[in-house]
Amino acid sequence: MTLATLNRRQFTALLGASAALPMAATAAAPAFFDHGLAPEFTGIDQWLNSPALTMAGLRGKVVLVDFWTYSCINCLRTLPYVNRWAEKYGGQGLVVVGVHTPEFAFERSTPNVQTAMKRFGVKHPVAQDNRYATWRAYSNQYWPAEYLVDKRGRIVRKHFGEGGYAEMEEAIRTLLAQPA
């Protein structure tokens, strides 16, 4: 088929397809932005599944800070992805830290949080932030909210709400592949 034998529709379709190729090639590369140094975990009432962690102690690791609460449906829909990333990439240098910040009074109960963690298969460290101290340190406003921290301790990606799972996983893989 030569250009002379193409009709207008075929030419338009071919042109559109060829124009999309460069975009498809670059779409997979995650965008990172420097949102500053990740705040320390502050005013934590209790650590679950882990001794107390600090951002300073996690330098050299990729850290995913996940703000959630167990009665938030959007959080519950996100948890399987967060759990999978913790399991899949934990041995490669990813540390997932859940920050359980309650929306309702009954979510402040440590036994209730532990029951929910067991029910939803949460095995990664969880900081119980009943007083919203870490929530405020991150200037967070949403459940769920993910903050991806690079090996230097800087927040390089934020995501609020559901979705964006493939993009977040690609960002995690990219950061893990970078030197410390």
- Domain assignment present for residue 98? The answer is yes
Rounded-to-integer distance, Cα 180 and Cα 176, Å = 9
- pLDDT value for 180: 82
Domain assignment of residue 74, given as a range: 46-177
β-strand partners of 21: none
- Domain assignment present for residue 100? The answer is yes
- Domain assignment present for residue 60? The answer is yes
Name the 3-class secondary structure at 44.
Answer: coil
CATH number for 155: 3.40.30.10
Please tell me the pTM assigned to this model: 0.84
1-54 tens-digit pLDDT? 444 444 555 544 544 544 444 444 445 578 899 999 999 999 999 999 999 999
Region of 100 please: left (phi>0), alpha (psi -120 to 50) or beta: beta
- pLDDT value for 73: 98
- Domain assignment present for residue 156? The answer is yes
- Domain assignment present for residue 65? The answer is yes
- Using CA atoms, how far residue 145 sits from 67, 71, 118, in Å, is 5, 15, 21
- Domain assignment present for residue 17? The answer is no
- Residue carrying structure tokens 């949102």: 35
Name the 3-class secondary structure at 148.
Answer: strand
Total domains in the chain come to 1
- Residue carrying structure tokens 């950061």: 175
Instruction: Count helices and strands (H / E) in the chain.
Output: 5, 6
- Domain assignment present for residue 171? The answer is yes
Averages of pLDDT over each 10 residues, the chain, 180 residues = 50 48 52 93 98 98 99 98 99 99 98 99 99 98 98 98 98 96
Helices within the chain (DSSP H only): 8-27, 73-89, 110-119, 133-137, 165-177
β-strand partners of 160: 145
- Domain assignment present for residue 77? The answer is yes
